[in-house]
């Protein structure tokens, strides 16, 4: 496992404030407080870039060959600041009956918040350990930062992948993404079947993703364990759609029948967001 590979100069240039993550020297612009604000395509793309940058930073936490405590690593890690819970652009009950308001409130306020709390705590301990030169503690904290930081990144993407039916939830993608799905999977129905099958087969907890391989210009379906972001499967993978298959995402409503949850979640998937990301990353 390894730490962030940004030098001091690069650390000042990377800004991921859309997630509450930022480096020193990059002031964060205030976000709208209202949970019902709909985001423009420009804001979607800007925040997607920040999500991708966050995922790339977390990926370094599980790359063994990059482990080290050099000056550039030390300064860039010290520059990281705490994260905060993002607002949702819809009410908790707006996704019913596909996802109950009770689940959404618990998922957002409790589970996502717990990842944030634990990440912030681990980050504070990390800074203290680095000030003391305690490399043993620094190494021990990598797991907590990776897991909880990944939980924050993944859930921030998940919320953007959902929208109420009356706001377009469940409407199939159009334009270049729709064409790419037909090209790579044969049809939208075939893609849904593949994602549902892969998601149902995840052992324990994890995520199922529709991603874009930027090098191959190809859509891929991948799964990740626990809270690993998609980028841990490859540095060129960009998440378009992520579905949480942890039990906390569905158990109160669907009990242990994960396939039913996967079947119904498509009714509130926001393909507009996925399309905007695809068009930005694969113009």
- Residue 161 pLDDT exceeds 70: yes
Tens of pLDDT, residue by residue over 211-236, are 999 999 999 999 999 999 999 999 99
Assign domain 8-163 one CATH number from 1.10.3210.10, 1.10.10.10, 1.10.287.990, 1.20.120.160.
1.10.287.990
Helices (H), the chain: 8-13, 41-59, 71-79, 101-105, 113-132, 135-160, 175-185, 188-200, 251-254, 258-265, 271-281
**pTM greater than 0.85 (yes/no):** no
Q: Where are the domains of the chain?
A: 8-163, 166-281
Assigned CATH for 166-281: 3.55.40.20
Strand ranges across the sheet with 206-213: 218-225, 206-213, 237-244
97, 101, 102, 107 alpha-carbon torsion, rounded to 10°: 110
Average pLDDT, integer, range 92-102: 98
- Higher per-residue pLDDT: 230 or 80: 230
Tens of pLDDT, residue by residue over 128-144, are 999 899 999 999 999 99
Of 115, 110, 94, the closest CA to residue 21 belongs to 115
**Separation between Cα atoms, residue 115 and residue 58, nearest integer Å:** 14
Average pLDDT, integer, range 98-110: 99
**Taking the CA of residue 40 as centre, how many other CA atoms within 13 Å lie in the half-sphere pointing to its CB?**
4
What confidence score (pLDDT) does residue 81 get? Answer: 77
Tens of pLDDT, residue by residue over 175-208, are 999 999 999 999 999 999 999 999 999 999 999 9
- Residue 44 pLDDT exceeds 70: no
Of 22, 9, 84, 185, the closest CA to residue 241 belongs to 185
Contact 254, 261 (CB under 8 A): yes
What confidence score (pLDDT) does residue 47 get? Answer: 53
Apex 54 CA angle, 51 and 56, nearest 5:
110
CA distances from 151 to 68, 117, 148, 156, 283 (A): 24, 11, 5, 8, 29
- Residue 96 pLDDT exceeds 90: yes
């Amino acid at each position: 496992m390894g730490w962030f590979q940004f030098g001091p100069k690069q650390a000042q240039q990377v800004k991921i404030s859309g997630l509450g993550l930022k480096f020193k020297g990059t002031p964060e612009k205030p976000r709208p407080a209202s949970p019902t604000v709909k985001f423009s395509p420009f804001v979607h793309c800007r925040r997607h870039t920040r999500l991708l940058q966050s995922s790339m930073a977390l990926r370094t936490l599980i790359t063994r060959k990059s482990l080290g405590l050099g000056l550039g690593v030390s300064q860039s890690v010290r520059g990281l600041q705490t994260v905060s819970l993002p607002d949702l652009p819809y009410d908790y009950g707006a996704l019913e009956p596909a996802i109950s308001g009770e689940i959404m409130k618990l998922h957002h306020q409790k589970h996502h918040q717990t990842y944030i709390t634990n990440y912030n705590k681990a980050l504070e301990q990390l800074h203290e350990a680095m000030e003391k030169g305690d490399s043993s503690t620094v190494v021990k904290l990598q797991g907590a930062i990776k897991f909880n930081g990944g939980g924050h990144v993944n859930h921030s993407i998940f919320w953007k992948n959902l929208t109420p039916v009356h706001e377009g939830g469940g409407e199939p993608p159009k334009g270049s993404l729709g064409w790419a799905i037909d090209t790579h999977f044969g049809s939208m129905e075939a893609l849904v079947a593949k994602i549902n099958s892969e998601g149902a087969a995840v052992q324990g907890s994890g995520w199922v993703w529709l991603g874009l391989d930027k090098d191959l210009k190809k859509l891929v379906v991948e799964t990740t364990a626990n809270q690993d972001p998609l980028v841990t499967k490859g540095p060129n993978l960009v998440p378009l759609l992520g579905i949480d298959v942890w039990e906390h995402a569905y158990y109160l409503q669907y009990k242990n029948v994960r396939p039913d949850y996967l079947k119904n979640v498509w009714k509130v998937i926001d393909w507009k967001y996925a399309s905007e990301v695809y068009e930005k990353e694969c113009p």
